[in-house]
Amino acid sequence: MGESGCTTSVIHVNGVDLHVAEQGSGPAVVLCHGFPGLSYSWRHQLPALAAAGYRAIAPDMRGYGRSSSPGDPSEYDRVTTVADMIGLLDALGIERAFFSGHDFGAQLVWDLPRWAPERVAGLVQLSVPLTPRPPVAPSVSSAHLARKHFLHLHYFQEPGVADRELDARPADFLARVMWALSDTDRYLQVWGHPSEGNGYLDVLPPAPELPWPWLTASEFDHYVNEFTRTGFTGGLNWYRAADYVWHQNADHAHVPIEVPTAFVAGDRDPVLAMMGTDPLDTMRSLAPGLESTTLIDGAGHFVQMQEPDQVNAAMLAFLDRQPRWV
């Protein structure tokens, strides 16, 4: 990963191989990326956590990078993805860990204390606040919204459609989606387009040439090389599993999140804007264990890359308040 002291390995858990980057020793912090991410998305957090006395562990989640990528969306359901994380702890000899998630990784991590409370010491969540379980399946609500404007959640549902578009132009897609999601106003331009006749690249705004203030050309090339090699189907299958997750969470969604929790996001994150009225206040009502909420000025969705020093400081301020154990 280019950081001194960072090692990588492939660990067989729950029927798949997970490629894992790891650095440091001490209490374990498992870092779960989202779409379109990789373990590499935590490159700024791994050395900072290790230097502070933590064992930082960042897998390529199933479907991504050098981990296995099952083709069936049902293999990305909540039963399976929780089992991935528990299997990872078992394989590494870890009884309890802190978990940090971003994007789809955050949605999984929000569920972990409900599914496996004995394995979770606390949460450090990025960008995606906890929300109530919706009254209808995600495919139903996204189809309804897609009648009004382009919505990637709906566009990604049909196997093969988005895959073909994104696989054909990985560099263009990655640049456009990373640039758009790094600021609210840029991403919300997508909603000005109709669904009919449009793919994602038709509606995402163009991105400026690299480097950007928070992403170098060589860092971007790492993403391009990996997604060029793997394609996007594995990542898209997390979206296609949304209905499975919704059904499986029926017996868990009422459980409050009582483990110690910190939330960090950019104040320019489009995800917060798209959630409507005060999602942070809603999160507080669902997570009585929430100890801190940090909004970082000027940062968008990829907050851990856009403002790594501030994210690292918020993570460590929370972690250092918790009882130390190994």
Q: What is the pLDDT of residues 208-259, one digit of tens each?
A: 999 999 999 999 999 999 999 999 999 999 999 999 999 999 999 999 999 9
Q: Give residue 324's pLDDT.
A: 77
Q: What is the pLDDT of residues 150-166, one digit of tens each?
A: 999 999 999 999 999 99
Geometric angle at alpha carbon 204, from 198 and 209, rounded to 5° = 140
Q: Decide: residue 320, CB within 10 A, 0-12 exposed, 13-18 middle, 19+ buried.
A: exposed
Whether 134 has a pLDDT exceeding 70, the answer reads yes
102 φ, ψ to 5°? -130, 135
Q: Give residue 45's pLDDT.
A: 98
Q: What is the mean pLDDT of the chain?
A: 96
Interaxial angle between packed helices 170-181 and 217-230, expressed in degrees from 0 to 180 and rounded to the nearest 10: 130
Residues 31-41, mean pLDDT to the nearest whole number = 98
Q: Give residue 277's pLDDT.
A: 75
Q: Show contacts of 316-319: CB within 8 Å, 24+ apart.
A: 316/48, 316/49, 316/52, 317/262, 317/292, 318/122, 318/124, 318/260, 318/262, 318/291, 318/292, 319/27, 319/29, 319/49, 319/52, 319/54, 319/98, 319/122, 319/124
Q: Give residue 325's pLDDT.
A: 63
Catalytic pick among 77, 84, 103, 183: 103
Residues 8-15, mean pLDDT to the nearest whole number = 98
Q: What is the pLDDT of residues 277-314, one digit of tens each?
A: 789 999 999 999 999 999 999 999 999 999 999 999 99
Domain 7-319 has CATH 3.40.50.1820: yes
**Cis geometry, peptide bond prior to residue 211 (ω within 30 degrees of 0):** yes
Q: What is the pLDDT of residues 185-203, one digit of tens each?
A: 999 999 999 999 999 999 9
Q: Give residue 248's pLDDT.
A: 98
Catalytic pick among 19, 33, 44, 301: 301
97 φ, ψ to 5°? -145, 155
Give the residue from 236, 240, 225, 171 showing the smallest Cα distance to 201: 171
Whether 2 has a pLDDT exceeding 70, the answer reads no
Q: What is the pLDDT of residues 86-122, one digit of tens each?
A: 999 999 999 999 999 999 999 999 999 999 999 999 9
Instruction: Give the pLDDT band of residue 1 (cuts 50, 70, 90).
Output: low
CA gap 145, 136 in Å, rounded: 13
Whether 79 has a pLDDT exceeding 50, the answer reads yes
Residue 301: active-site member: yes
Q: Give residue 278's pLDDT.
A: 86
Instruction: Give the pLDDT band of residue 4 (cuts 50, 70, 90).
Output: low
Residue 320: active-site member: no
In percent, the amount of the chain with pLDDT more than 70 equals 98
Whether 3 has a pLDDT exceeding 50, the answer reads no
